[in-house]
Amino acid sequence: MAAYFVFIREHTTDKTELDIYESLAPTTLEGHKISVLAHYGKHQVLEGAEAEGVVIAEFPTAREAMAWYDSPEYKRVREHRFRGAEYRAILVEGLPTQ
């Protein structure tokens, strides 16, 4: 069943590091089955803490999502995200297809 990564940027701490991350992150997607469904578009927080931005990415399975997240390529690049902003990253499985 499909799985979704939801990345919520709560607060930017270092714009330079975040810019590096944003320039390199697309290269880590090569070879992975991923559909980016939302990428920092207009959003409205209805409950909970404010968010600077949201990304939602769909993978065929949670295993494939984690294969990307734990890949050596993304591990190197995500360090810039860690230094550049405070994020919440959530992996959620979708519903079974009928």
pLDDT digits (tens, 9 = 90+) for 6-23: 999 999 999 999 999 999
The predicted model gives 67-94 an average pLDDT of 97
84 and 16 Cβ atoms separated by less than 8 Å: yes
Of the candidates 8, 62, 60, 7, which has an alpha carbon nearest to the alpha carbon of residue 34? 60
Of the candidates 67, 87, 75, 77, which has an alpha carbon nearest to the alpha carbon of residue 24? 77
pTM for the predicted model, two decimal places? 0.91
Burial class (CB in 10 A: 0-12, 13-18, 19+), 85: buried
The predicted model gives 37-65 an average pLDDT of 97
Confidence at 42, pLDDT banded by 50, 70, 90 = very high
Measured CA to CA in angstroms, residue 79 lies from 21, 65, 73 at distances of 8, 18, 11
